[in-house]
Structures are given as C-alpha cells and as structure tokens.
Amino acid sequence: MVPHLVTALSGPLLDLEEKILAATPAIERWFRLEWQEHTPPFYCSVDMRNAGYKLAPVDTNLFPGGFNMLATEMLPLSVQAAMAAIDKYCPDARNLLLIPEVTQRHPTYWQNVARLMQIFRQTGLHVRLGSLSPDVTQPTPIALPDGNMLVVEPLVRSPNGRRVGLKDFDPCTILLNNDLSAGIPDILQNIHEQSLLPPLHAGWALRRKSNHLNAYDEVVKKFGKLIGVDPWMLNPFHAKCDAVNFRTGEGYECLAANIDTLLAKIKKKYKEYGIKDHKPFVIVKPDAGTYGTSILTIKDSSEIKDLTQAQRDKMIVIKDGKEVTDFIIQEGVPTFESIESAVAEPVVYMIDRYVVGGFYRVHAEKGVDQNLNAPGSQYVPLAFAQQHAVPDLKAKPGTAAPNRFYVYGVVARLALLAASLEMERTDPNPEVY
C-alpha cells in the first residue's frame, strides 16, 4: 500500500523525473557496467530528501538497522538479493554469524535483527547471533514485542586464531549489523579465513562521510552527463572542517567561512533556477557517526558563535560517548513531501546492488528544513520494489507514484555506487579487496 503523498498530486521534480524515465535503458545499462567494475556494499540504506527542485541523498548507512520497517511484501525480493550477495563471498555457505549492536536497548532494533535472521534463514543458511558485549558470557535470551525470542551468544576465537564463531558454530560468513562506533574490537581483528561483511573500514571507527561525499561527487557528475542534467539537482554542496572544539570555540572560523561559501553557492543556484520559496541553509554534522546525533541546522554563519550551551554540548559527543572534532557542512535540502500534514523523507534499502524496499520517515513536530531522524519519528513502509521494477513509462511526469519511487531507487543506487568507490579507496588492504 502506498500512502497518500502530497507530492503525488503536486508533481515536483517533473523535469528530472522525465529525463530519468526517458533514459531508463541507458541508466540500467550504465549501472550494469559499473557493477562489473565495482563491488557494491553487502547492504545499505540511503536517507533522501525531495525538495521539489532537487532530489538528493543526505546520508548513506552501511549498517542499516530498519529492515523490520520494510513491507512484508518485499521479503521474497530481499531473500533473492541476499542469495546473490552471499554467493559472491561464500557460495557453499551453511552458517552465517550475525553480530548486532551492543548498546541497543530499543525493541524495534531487535525486530530489525529478527527480520535479518528471517531473510537469511530463507536463503538456506543457519543463522545465529554473536555479541561483542563483554557482559554476554553465555547464551542470553532477548524478548521481542511480538512474543518471539532471540538468543545472543558470546563470540569465540578458533584454536588457530584465524576464525571467529560461537561454541559449536563455525560460520563461513560474518555479517556485522554493528557500526563499530566504539572502535574495532580485538576479536574481529586479523580474520583471514572468513568473509567479514561489511569490512572493518566500513565502520565509523575508520569511515568518514567526507570520503563518501567526494566519491558521490564523481558518480553524480558521470550520471548527470549521461542523462543531461545539472549534477546539483542530485547532489548537495559540501565542505569539511577538522579540529573543531565546541567547548572552546576552536575551529569556529573554519565553520563560519565554509558556511558562508556554501550559502553563497546555494544562493547562486537558487537564482539560476528561480527558486524563491526557500531560504538557503546548511547542516553541520560529524564526519563520522550516525543515529541523527550532533546535527545543527544553520541559516547564517553568525549562528555558530551564538550557540547555547545545550547546543554546544550536543555537538561534542556522539554515539557510544565518542568525542567528535571533525565535521562536515552539507547543503540543506528541505523536504517537499508530507503524509497527513507531517513532513516526510524517503529511505531506500538495498542488498547487494538491488533495491529491496523502503519506507517514509515521518515527524509531525519537525519542519521541512530539520533533521527527521530524531526521537518522535514514525515510519510508513512502502513496497518500493514493485514500483522500482516497473515504472509506468506512459504516465505523465508527476502523476504516477511508481515513477517517483523508481527515481528514488535510481538516486539511492548512485549513493550505493559511491559507497563502493569509497570502500575501495579507503581499504587498508587493497590487495585482498
């Protein structure tokens, strides 16, 4: 079921949608050729913003935690995609070890883990959960809201020190659903005989958003040339500042200068395309980290100097208590979409190179220029894959929801391709990639 969207009637992105639909054969061929050269991440989710005048990914997560939010109709496609992904790394796989987050206490996260286990069990694998928590010293049950139960078990290293598994369970593949914000634990180091997916350098202990954004710049330039659109229509401007200390004010000059530069570039684009209904703004957020923490919406560089103590405190520490000093400044993309008067943004999920579903993140208390990944957000599942696979090429732009979701799938795959380039270029052991 597709929820009623304001945009389904008002029809933004008409020109971009029309060009993408007209170029569908060329686009799909282009992706096929790119995937011959690059390996997609094992799985990925992409937060997107549809502003009406542009459609852009604003966050790319390589450890997606919302598979329980996908429509149940998408399960068969997820299973097929998972089969294709596993075949690449371990065609004779029997056992899969799934390592979840340590600090998650929210039941919806464990529902996500249960959905992942369901998907991989339906591929024919034995799936068990191994915990990185030092508190898990024996099989530990976790109750789910639906009455089912998960069991997490302590990880063990093999006698030769080259493999990781559980007691009496030796997996071919280890799937991380833990983003390693707290660092890379010793037990996951130097694993030589198993596939560890995603690789360790995909975790936030090493990964940086600025590397991803630079790779996306390259991908979207090529794509824009392919279909004849300004890459800016698909890409927020961005900049980076290191050594920022919100306690002492160190690095504020860098932030202010880059904010001014980006706002000037955005204003120039707004003038070029006659955009008068929106005031340019930027988002300041950590170069590493997730969960929607430590994020500021800024409309003038002077706001940096006038932050309240609470705002500064929020910017100092991210998930798992890690202090942050490196930040990116990203062009703010307002959302044009709403569901029942609450602002909404699409999130697209992929396994391997396939779009397997998505949902709308909805927040009734946030504005069109604010971060929606915050307490109080709700989720409306969408059967993305049906529309992604079969766009209505005869429909007029702006009149068919299937076309909008196909376009979302295309842009999400651009971010996926950028993530594959990012992983290649940041791999500490490229010879074994």
Q: What is the pLDDT of residue 394?
A: 63
User: pLDDT band for position 255 (50/70/90)?
Assistant: very high
pLDDT-derived band of residue 357, with 50, 70 and 90 as boundaries? confident
**Mean per-residue pLDDT of the chain:** 86
Q: Return all residues near 87 (Cβ < 8 A) that are at least 6 apart.
A: none
3-state secondary structure 200-232: HHHCCCCCCHHHHHHHHHHHHHHHHHHHCCCHH
Rounded-to-integer distance, Cα 261 and Cα 264, Å = 5
* Per-residue pLDDT band at 185 (split at 50, 70, 90): very high
Per-residue pLDDT, averaged over 90-119, amounts to 90
Ranges 14-28, 314-328, 367-381, most confident: 14-28
pLDDT digits (tens, 9 = 90+) for 129-172: 999 999 999 999 999 988 999 999 999 999 888 899 999 999 99
Residue 72 has pLDDT above 80, yes or no: yes
For residue 316, what pLDDT is reported? 78
Mean pLDDT computed over 27-35: 97
Alpha-carbon span 16 to 410, nearest angstrom:
12
Residues with Cβ within 8 Å of 239's Cβ and at least 6 positions away in sequence, in order, are: 258, 261, 262, 328, 329
Give the least confident one: 24-33, 258-267, 360-369, 378-387: 378-387
Q: What is this structure's pTM?
A: 0.90
Token duo for residue 121: 């069990």
pLDDT of 187 > 60? The answer is yes
Give the pLDDT of residue 363. 72
Q: Looking at residue 71, what is its pLDDT?
A: 85
Q: What percent of the chain has pLDDT over 90?
A: 57
Indicate if the pLDDT at residue 9 is higher than 60.
no
Q: Contact at 8 Å (CB) between 30 and 226?
A: yes
Domain locations along the chain:
5-64+209-424, 70-205
What confidence tens digit (pLDDT) does each residue in 404-423 have? 788 889 999 999 999 999 99
Query: For the segment 296-323, what is each residue's pLDDT rounded down to a tens digit?
Result: 889 999 988 888 888 788 887 765 567 7
Q: What is the per-residue pLDDT for 290? A: 64
Confidence grade of residue 380 (pLDDT, cut at 50, 70, 90): confident
Residue 383 in contact with residue 71, Cβ under 8 Å? Answer: yes
pLDDT confidence of residue 10 = 40
Burial of 275 (0-12, 13-18, 19+ CB in 10 A): middle
- Statement: residue 342 has pLDDT above 60: yes
pLDDT of residue 245: 86
For residue 379, the model assigns a pLDDT of: 72
Q: What average pLDDT does the segment 243-262 reach?
A: 89
The CATH homologous superfamily of the domain defined by 70-205: Glutamate-cysteine ligase, N-terminal domain (3.40.50.11280)
Residues facing residue 284 across a β-bridge: 296, 329
